[in-house]
Amino acid sequence: MIEGRSITKRFGSNTVLEDITCSFEPGKVNLIIGASGSGKTVLMKCLVGLFEPDEGEVIYDGQSFTALSHKERKPIQQEIGMLFQGGALFDSMTVKQNVMFPLSMFSKMSYKERVDRVEFCLNRVNLVNVGHLYPAEISGGMKKRVAIARAIANQPKYLFCDEPNSGLDPKTSLVIDRLIEEITEEFKMTTIVNTHDMNTVVETGEKIIFIYKGKKWFEGSAAELIKSDIKELEEFVFASKMMRAFRQQAQS
Amino acid sequence: MRYIFSIGQYWIFMARLVQKPERFRIYMRQIFLEMDAMGFGSLGIVAVNSAFMGAVITIQSAYNIVNPLVPLSAIGIVARDSIILEFSPTVIMMVLAGKIGSSIASEIGTMRVTEQIDALEIMGINSSSFLVLPKVVAAVLILPFIVLISMFVGILGGWLAGDMTGACPSADYLKGLQDSFVTFNVTFALIKTVVFAFIITSVASYQGYFTRGGALEVGKASTRAVVFSNILILLFDYICTQLLLV
Ligand SMILES: Nc1ncnc2c1ncn2[C@@H]1O[C@H](COP(=O)(O)OP(=O)(O)O)[C@@H](O)[C@H]1O
Ligand SMILES: [Mg+2]
């Protein structure tokens, strides 16, 4: 289980996260929702160690990650896969090389085994015949899928996804959401997804954490979210007609 | 205050470079790729610049020497020494700061703003060493050869220009080239080249690595890389000359 305890993060005098305590359930897709600029990415980067929180700590399976040195963190970091908002594929490498990269750097696999693993991961995200192309030559949805394939190449225990469906059309978004759900179940990962997409909330919300202006306002299931009457949720979740309709349905 | 912070940040950044590479073989491959890009990629611009500068230096020297007591071979000496001592190692390296420096800063800067550097870090790779070390090593190894080529082409350009315009006949130029030749001057030029190669690649990498924002900031980082490396090249040109020649 991954936990954040009283995480505070500042950039200069700008407090981006304030006293956030949250936990993420193993084997599930956990959502962090909030408007743009509310601090989702910063929270996620604190959880994986790309940012150091100014106060508070991050706990992996009961062990404090924050207290570890960079070297001591390596074994945990090897278990983390991350999907970045823009995909963050390496421009200078083909799709295949991108997926193979973490394997070449860290696994003890032979070349043949690595090629097979790449093939498997690309197939798993339903990508065929694009292995030889460069990131600039494929569509946004494909990029996200390659990034997922790269993130799962080393069989991580934890998968972090920063806005996996930003910039995608609703149908492709749904495909990516489904894919994340499926692989989470299939590979028994703990997945954390940042999103501001209400569709995702309705479709996949098993455990939801709501961040507003750097503070946590809600933690619970989608059903609880719909019923909740926290004022801050009005500004974000129930700003959409769809969500208000859902609330009405749930209340009646 | 900001400059002091930057200088500190630069040295911490440099210190991270010298940590043990994760996969030696991958580093070696990167170094060869970079050497290829920097070396062959720079030959054209270096050759054109050197040929014309050599020609101009020769014709200007001829124009300046009006005293009949000064032999025409002095033009060969002047062209040779100014090309070897200053033009090829300093001016050409400033040209390369524009070419190589801006490309490194924008490559690494783009990787930063598109989170490719975060992607490396999350895999547990020391991103600064992985991205920067091969570039620094490649530049330090390959640019001395480029500067040697520049010297050769520059002197050749001077010879051709002098001969074609009649400003300095072939025989005089060649005599001047051999007259009181100091081999240490070439060594000195190559030492400077190595220092400048380090400055260009490390400053450009630093500027790229700490870019924040988007495409606009990448452009700014790339401009800053060129400006700062040019200033530092001139400063270290002076320091090296004081230390080694005077
Ligand atoms: N590296 C950084 N330096 C300074 N401020 C930052 C940095 N990264 C993010 N911020 C600030 O933190 C706030 C939250 O950003 P972010 O977590 O990216 O929001 P989002 O919820 O859209 O992912 C923003 O106001 C942003 O300006
Ligand atoms: Mg974000």
Q: What pLDDT was estimated at residue A108?
A: 85
Specify the DSSP element, H or E, that contains B103: helix B102-113
Find chain B residues with C-beta within 8 A of A86's C-beta.
Answer: 114-115
Tell me, letter by letter, the H, E, C secondary structure of B28-64: HHHHHHHHHHHHHHHHHHHHHHHHHHHHHHHHHHHHH
> Residue B115, class by beta-carbon neighbours within 10 Å (0-12 exposed, 13-18 middle, 19+ buried)?
buried
Residue in B67, B48, B97 with CA at minimum distance from that of residue B223: B97
Higher pLDDT, A228 or A159: A159
Test mutation, B114, B127, B129, B210, chain A, max A CBs within 10 A: B114
Average pLDDT, integer, range B227-232: 96
| B17 in Cβ contact with B206 (< 8 Å) | no
Residue in B141, B151, B138 with CA at minimum distance from that of residue B204: B138
Nearest ligand to residue A164 Cα? 2
Q: By percentage, how much of chain A surpasses pLDDT 70?
A: 100
Q: What pLDDT was estimated at residue B70?
A: 83
**Is A235 found in the same domain as A195?**
yes
From B110, B111, B115, residue closest to A85, measured CB to CB: B115
Say whether A93 sits in a helix, a strand or coil. Answer: coil
**Is A165 found in the same domain as A151?**
no
Write down the ipTM of this complex. 0.90
Domain count, chain A: 2
Q: Determine the distance in angstroms separating the CA of A145 from the nearest CA of chain B, rounded to an integer.
A: 15
Indicate if the alpha-carbon torsion angle A55, A61, A67, A73 is positive or negative: negative
Q: Which residues contact A165 (CB under 8 A, 6 or more apart)?
A: A144, A172, A173, A176, A177, A195, A197, A200
B45 vs B68: CA distance, rounded Å: 37
Q: How many CA atoms lie within 13 A of B126 on its CB side?
A: 19
**Is A198 found in the same domain as A241?**
yes
pLDDT tens digits, A147-202: 999 999 999 999 999 999 888 888 888 888 999 999 999 999 999 999 988 888 87
A62-73 burial, b if ≥16 CB within 10 A, otherwise e? eeebbebeeeeb
Q: Which residues contact A207 (CB under 8 A, 6 or more apart)?
A: A24, A25, A28, A29, A30, A31, A219, A220, A221
Average pLDDT, integer, range A30-42: 93
CB contact under 8 A, B119 and A45: no
Residue in A217, A216, A223, A236 with CA at minimum distance from that of residue A4: A216
**Is A240 found in the same domain as A184?**
yes
Chain A and chain B share a number of CB contacts under 8 A equal to: 46
All structural domains of chain B with their residue ranges: 28-244
Q: Which two tokens stand for residue B104?
A: 């490194």
**Is A168 found in the same domain as A58?**
yes
CB neighbours of residue A45 within 10 Å: 22
Test mutation, B118, B135, B210, chain A, max A CBs within 10 A: B118
A45 has a chain B CB within 8 A of its CB: yes
**Is A171 found in the same domain as A64?**
yes
A63-64 β-sheet, strand order: A14-24, A2-11, A55-60, A63-64
- Asked which of A103, A124, A155 is the last residue of a domain, the reply is A155
For residue B112, what pLDDT band results from cuts at 50, 70 and 90? Answer: very high
CATH number of the domain encompassing residue A11: 3.40.50.300
User: Which residue's entry shows tokens 């500004």?
Assistant: A235
Report chain B's mean pLDDT, rounded to a whole number: 92
B100 vs B104: CA distance, rounded Å: 6
Domain containing residue A130: 87-155
Q: What pLDDT was estimated at residue A112?
A: 94
**Is A224 found in the same domain as A161?**
yes
CB contact under 8 A, A80 and B23: no
**Is A31 found in the same domain as A145?**
no
Average pLDDT, integer, range A211-238: 85
Instruction: Name the residue with the closest Cα to ligand 1, atom 5.
Output: A11
**Is A178 found in the same domain as A64?**
yes
**Is A217 found in the same domain as A168?**
yes
- Asked which of A135, A155, A175 is the last residue of a domain, the reply is A155
A24 vs A206: CA distance, rounded Å: 10
Q: What pLDDT was estimated at residue A5?
A: 94
Q: Which two tokens stand for residue A81?
A: 């896969």
β-bridge mates for residue B35, sequence order = none
pTM score: 0.90
Residue in B73, B63, B64 with CA at minimum distance from that of residue B179: B73
Any ligand 1 atom below 6 A from CB of A16: yes
| B184 in Cβ contact with B177 (< 8 Å) | no
pLDDT tens digits, B54-69: 999 999 998 888 788 8
| A121 in Cβ contact with A99 (< 8 Å) | yes
Q: What pLDDT was estimated at residue A183?
A: 92
Interface of B with A in 166-225 (CB under 8 A): none
Q: How many CA atoms lie within 13 A of A1 on its CB side?
A: 8
Instruction: Indicate whether B125 pLDDT > 90.
Output: no
Q: What pLDDT was estimated at residue A38?
A: 92
**Is A137 found in the same domain as A33?**
no
- Asked which of A128, A155, A182 is the last residue of a domain, the reply is A155
**Is A58 found in the same domain as A167?**
yes
